[in-house]
């Protein structure tokens, strides 16, 4: 286990050194830390009871992550996103709804672990696992058929939950699948992320 962590830390520091050669001019001084920004986008797939009203959504997020030689191979991160879920055709057919959709703004704070590389020669490919706490503000629009006799209305909600995921990383690019739990919304997300360094200190 110690050897695995050391190997992963070694490759992550090599990535830092490579980035330093591009974005900085100062030579390493022994310690290393980095602040990174990433942008992700991908589909959302409702599950459990949430899939009764919606069967598809999409989302995007902006993330800041930090690590140093004490935390490696763990990265701490915070991200904010935008997600939209659309009503399913089966839900419309079995109800008086004419339009149903949810706009959500989730905020996550969590940690990501980078395992030892699966590939090292041609490309660097590392398995990753992550977990985070979630706060989500959502706005739901409920519109009904004119002949239903029901009044349209909207709902604003705040929920707390969690997210857990896994995927593969080339560090500057990642593919991550996550299970996201909120009391009234459970879904699986698939995100393609692109990462750039903001600051790298040695």
Residue 5 has pLDDT above 50, yes or no: no
pLDDT score for 34: 83
21 or 98: which leads in pLDDT: 98
Condensed to tens digits (0 to 9), the pLDDT of residues 149-169 reads: 788 899 999 999 999 999 998
Residue 25 has pLDDT above 50, yes or no: no
The conformational region for residue 149 under phi > 0 = left, psi -120 to 50 = alpha, else beta, is left
Q: Of the candidates 149, 128, 136, which has an alpha carbon nearest to the alpha carbon of residue 65?
A: 128
- CB of 54 closer than 8 Å to CB of 46: yes
Distance CA 108, CA 78 (A): 6
What radius of gyration do the chain's Cα atoms show?
Answer: 21
Distance CA 49, CA 53 (A): 8
Q: Of the candidates 187, 184, 171, 77, which has an alpha carbon nearest to the alpha carbon of residue 132?
A: 77
Condensed to tens digits (0 to 9), the pLDDT of residues 89-119 reads: 888 888 888 889 999 999 999 999 988 888 7
Largest interatomic CA distance in the chain: 73
C-alpha distance from residue 108 to each of 21, 89, 181 (Å): 32, 31, 12
* Burial of 200: CB neighbours in 10 Å, binned 0-12, 13-18, 19+: buried
Residue 79 has pLDDT above 90, yes or no: yes
Q: Decide: pTM greater than 0.85.
A: no
Domains present along the chain, CATH in parentheses: 2-201 (2.40.160.20)
Which residues does residue 110 pair with via DSSP β-bridges, in sequence order? Answer: 77, 132
């Amino acid at each position: 286990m110690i050897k695995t962590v050391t190997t992963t830390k070694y490759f992550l520091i090599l990535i830092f050194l490579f980035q330093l050669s591009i974005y900085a001019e100062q030579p390493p001084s022994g310690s290393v830390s980095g602040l990174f920004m990433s942008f992700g986008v991908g589909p959302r797939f409702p599950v459990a009871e949430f899939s009764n009203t919606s069967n598809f959504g999409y989302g995007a997020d902006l993330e800041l992550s930090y690590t140093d030689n004490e935390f490696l191979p763990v990265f701490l991160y915070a991200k904010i996103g935008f997600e939209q879920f659309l009503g399913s055709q089966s839900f419309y057919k079995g109800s008086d709804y004419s339009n149903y959709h949810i706009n959500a703004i989730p905020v996550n704070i969590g940690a990501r672990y980078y395992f030892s590389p699966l590939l090292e020669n041609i490309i660097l490919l590392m398995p990753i696992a992550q977990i985070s706490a979630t706060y989500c503000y959502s706005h739901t629009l409920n519109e009904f058929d004119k002949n239903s006799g029901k009044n349209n209305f909207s709902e604003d909600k705040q929920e707390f939950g969690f997210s857990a995921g896994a995927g593969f990383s080339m560090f500057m690019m990642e593919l991550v699948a996550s299970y996201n739990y909120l009391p009234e919304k459970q879904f699986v997300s698939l995100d393609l992320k692109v990462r750039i360094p903001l600051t790298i200190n040695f």
